[in-house]
Amino acid sequence: MNAEQFNARYPVGTPVFAYPGCRPEDDPNDNRRRIYIDGKGNAWISVCADEGTEWVVPVQPEAAVEQDVRDIADDTGSIREIGRCW
């Protein structure tokens, strides 16, 4: 789906959720780390997934505490995947 198709289906301002692994374009064999931006503009990177929970750490030198992506979305208002890395 390209931006034009997405905007036709979901006009600008429409609340949408796109959880990793639930979108048709997600490849289950893609093992790159996911990178997210939360509702406050903070960056997060995936460190592991365990039994349906994806654990992430802040993108900063002192990142040491894993958090569930759903908790971050609840705390900050949103979380969006913005890319993937090795």
Q: For the chain, where are the E strands, in sequence order? A: 33-38, 43-50, 53-58, 67-68, 79-85
What lies within 8 Å, CB to CB, of 66 at 6+ separation is 47, 48, 55, 56, 57
> Which pTM does this prediction carry?
0.46
pLDDT value at 76 more than 80: yes
Contact 25, 2 (CB under 8 A): no
pLDDT in tens, 44-67: 888 887 787 888 888 875 656 678
Q: Map out the domains of the chain as residue ranges.
A: 3-85
